[in-house]
Structure 1
Amino acid sequence: MANQGAKKRKEENARHMARLRQIIIACNVIYVLLRMLVFHSSFTWKHWIGLIVTSLAYVIPYQQLAKMATPAYAEDGELLDGGFDMSTGGVCGYLHDVIYITCFVQVMSIVSGKFWYTYLVIPAFGAYKSFGFIKGFLPGGSEESFEDEKTRKKREKMEKKASRPKFAKTRTR
């Protein structure tokens, strides 16, 4: 019964990584079969570059996810940790998003080359998140200038009330 959670997480991560691998392989097979074999007359060097770019866009996030999903073992071979929970957000979620966007771009680029512009979503979202992170370090002097007199007095009153000592009423018999 010991380490049941770690064993369960290890199995979930193995299934999850196998599913991701299947999705990546399916998208590559669809692209190669349709783009290279069916539409071979319109296949140019740009499509080779696209295939290399999408392959890199698969490999890098997949390797990071595989490292995160790797279980940790003790020296005697006992399972200590089943790996990172792949269903959480944060970096793990962003890596999944890159893989899914790459799948979409690769398959849809068979239809039209305009779908490559969808890749601009990734750096745009990164810039958006970075701006929010950097904004937290900037001085917030401009925020206080928007506080009007009524709001300032209300805030000061609440601060004054919060700073008063509080006494608890007790019953004596």
Structure 2
Amino acid sequence: MANQGAKKRKEENARHMARIRQVIIACNVIYVLVRMLFFHSTFTWKHWIGLIVTSLAYFIPYKQLDKMATPSYDDDGELLDGGFDMTTGGVCGYLHDIIYITCFVQVMSIISGKFWYTYLVIPAFGAYQSFGLIKGFLPGGSSEEPYEDEKTRKKREKMEKKASRPKFVKTRTR
């Protein structure tokens, strides 16, 4: 059975995207029902803007994930690739994080508007990652070896020597 892995990945990606879609819809329904029906007297134009911002924060990463999960076919319609593996880290993981942070912010903003400050985690993490990347390009950045004192050096050498020794396994013979 050719392309069995691609077929399996295609099905996994379809289930994964459906699950993310359900989470997004559930968060929006909770927000709209609770905020507009129960707290309708405090619903202002700021809340409309918040709903638009969270909708965009859902839409952009979801569309990117959907593009990544889309399988590719050849000219004959045969499945070539099942799409990107959604369980990997990197950009895919960051897009998932944005969606989950948006879910948290949207639902918790029903309780207090101060939960909107949680969105600052996203640019703060981006700055942290960028700083690590930029630091690697600077002279004297990450290329230097950390200072190792005599005690630590001897301990490391002892562990390396111990690890390089052959291992013997005792077995019982009958």
Same fold (TM over 0.5): yes
Q: Displacement, 1:146? A: 7.3
Q: Is the Cα contact below 8 Å between 2:6 and 2:80 reproduced in 1? A: yes
CA RMSD of aligned residues (A): 2.2
- Counterpart Cα distance in 1 of 2:117 and 2:54: 13
Q: How far 1:142 moved relative to its partner?
A: 9.5
Structure 2 unaligned segments of length 5 or more: list them.
154-174
Residues in 1 aligned to 2:136 and 2:130: alpha-carbon distance in whole angstroms: 10
Partner of 1:59: 59
Matched with 2:132 is 132
Equivalent pair of 2:86/2:92 in contact (CA under 8 Å): yes
> Any idea what SS the aligned residue of 1:140 has?
coil
CA distance in 2, matches of 1:88, 1:148: 35
Alignment-derived partner of residue 71 in structure 1: 71
SS, match of residue 75 in structure 2: coil
TM-score, normalised by the number of residues in structure 1: 0.83
Structure 1 residues 5 and 112, CA gap change in structure 2 (3 angstroms) = same
Structure 2 length as normaliser, TM-score? Answer: 0.82
Distance apart, 1:37 and its partner CA: 1.1
Distance, in Å, in 2 between the alignment partners of 1:41 and 1:111 is 14
Equivalence for 1:158 = none
Question: Cα gap change, 1:89/1:146 in structure 2, threshold over 3 Å: closer, same or farther?
Answer: closer
Partner of 1:160: none
Counterpart residue number, 2:88: 88
Question: Against the structure 1 CA distance between its residues 136 and 35, is the aligned structure 2 distance closer, same or farther, given a 3 Å change threshold?
Answer: same
Unaligned runs of 5+ in 1: 155-173
- Offset, 1:149: 9.7
> Distance between the aligned counterparts of 2:149 and 2:103, measured in 1?
54
How far did residue 143 of structure 1 move?
7.4
SS in 2 for 1:136: helix
Measured in 2, the distance between the counterparts of 1:10 and 1:149 equals: 53
Partners in 2 of 1:127 and 1:144 — Cα distance? 23
Whether the 8 Å CA contact 2:135–2:141 is kept in 1: the answer is: no
Moved over 4 A (4+): 141-150
Q: Distance in 1 between matches of 2:9 and 2:17?
A: 12
Per-residue CA shift, 1:38-58, capped at 9, x if unaligned? 100000110001000000000
**Structure-to-structure mapping, 1:1-173, within 5 angstroms:** 1-140=1-140, 147=147
CA distance 1:6–1:41, change in 2 (3 Å): same
Task: Give a deviation string over 1:59-99, Cα, whole Å, max 9, x none.
Answer: 00000000000000000000000000000000000000000
Which deviates the most, 139-148 or 39-48? 139-148
Question: Partner amino acid for 1:86?
Answer: M
Equivalent position amino acid for 2:14 in 1: A
Once the two structures are aligned, what percentage of the paired residues are identical? Answer: 84
Query: How many residue pairs align between the two structures?
Result: 153
